Amino acid sequence: MQAGEWEKARVCYQRGIDVDNLAEEFYQSLMNCYLADGRKAEALAVYDRLGRIFSSLGVEPSPKTRNLLNSLRSS
């Protein structure tokens, strides 16, 4: 991600999610990759996926993730 290689970073974070779909940090990083690459709709879709999974468990995303969502919505 630091090198600006968004596609490579996205693939890595998606693999992380595939292994552990409750690892919120992977979703945050994936959302940030999409956001940095100007792909807001995809970033929002990642949040929606996380929200559905967490909701089914009766859990809410962390404040950090909700803040990221708010910044996506306001951009």
Determine the Cα angle at 75 with ends 12 and 64, to 5°: 55
pLDDT score of 44 more than 90: yes
Q: pLDDT of 59-74, one tens digit each?
A: 999 999 999 999 888 8
Round the average pLDDT of the chain to a whole number and report it.
93
Q: Closest Cα to residue 70, out of 31, 23, 30, 21?
A: 31
Averaged pLDDT, 32-47: 94
Task: Please report, for the chain, the start and end positions of each structural domain, with discontinuous segments joined by +.
Answer: 6-74
Averaged pLDDT, 35-62: 95
Task: Determine phi and psi for 20, rounding to 5 degrees.
Answer: -140, 95
What whole-number percentage of the chain has pLDDT above 90?
80
Return the CATH number of 6-74, one of 1.25.40, 1.10.3230, 3.30.70, 1.10.3470.
1.25.40
